[in-house]
Amino acid sequence: MIKLIFGRTESGKSYRAREFLKNTKRKIIFDAANDFTGMIITDFSQGNLLKLFMAYKCSESFCLVFRPPWNLDNERAAQAVAAFAFALGRSYGERALRASDRIVLVLDEADKYTCYDKTDLLYLAVTKGRHQNLDILAICQDPMTLPTYFRRNASEICTLQLEVNPYFKEKFGLSVAEKIAQLKRYHYYLWSDCHGVTLYNAKGSKIND
């Protein structure tokens, strides 16, 4: 599954992501903005990543929060985390885990370090991760700043308050795009490829639109 969360600053993106993650057992988080809690990892060296791989490859539950140190740029750090997540997912065997047991790779502020290169490890995680027991949760403000392969492969889109933009108009229609711009804080629209678009309040209850 590829899940995307959009919304302006302070609209509730990180809160919504944390609510979603409550129901997941295996989490790998690239925490570019220091918004998440768990086992904090700042050593991105190959040696440390190998130790982590050996420690967690058989674990049924974990929350690894990767925070890049000041001397490592986000793009290189994100590549290392994507490679680690891909390898850890593959260690279970191809498509071996049930949907509820798959690893979720969280990419906070995803537009700051992703690119369009098809040899990029994040591209491979997004487009091929499902074969290696890997789901993606990508968070950013504006969908137009995110590489198109995220949007093209998305199975769920959660959007909080954000101004009208071409992607929302095309995906949801002008009426819903205008309503997104007027959403209250923490209220959100959720689109899925199975159920279409639905409005929810801050507590996660459906609202008649």
What distance lies between CA 38 and its chain's CA centroid? 16
- Gap between the Cα atoms of 122 and 149, Å rounded: 10
CATH of domain 2-164: 3.40.50.300
- Supply the Cα-derived Rg of the chain in whole angstroms: 17
- Per the model's pLDDT, the better-predicted residue between 94 and 41 turns out to be 41
pLDDT tens sequence across 141-165: 999 999 999 999 999 999 999 999 8
What distance lies between CA 23 and its chain's CA centroid? 14
Q: Enumerate residues 6+ apart whose C-beta is below 8 A from 74.
A: 32, 68, 112, 113
Closest CA relative to residue 87, chosen from 125, 118, 40: 125
Report pLDDT for 100. 82
Report pLDDT for 58. 80
| Overall average pLDDT of the 69-75 stretch | 88
Predicted confidence (pLDDT) at residue 119 exceeds the cutoff of 70: no
Domain boundaries in the chain?
2-164
| Overall average pLDDT of the 7-31 stretch | 92
Q: Is the pTM of this model over 0.75?
A: yes
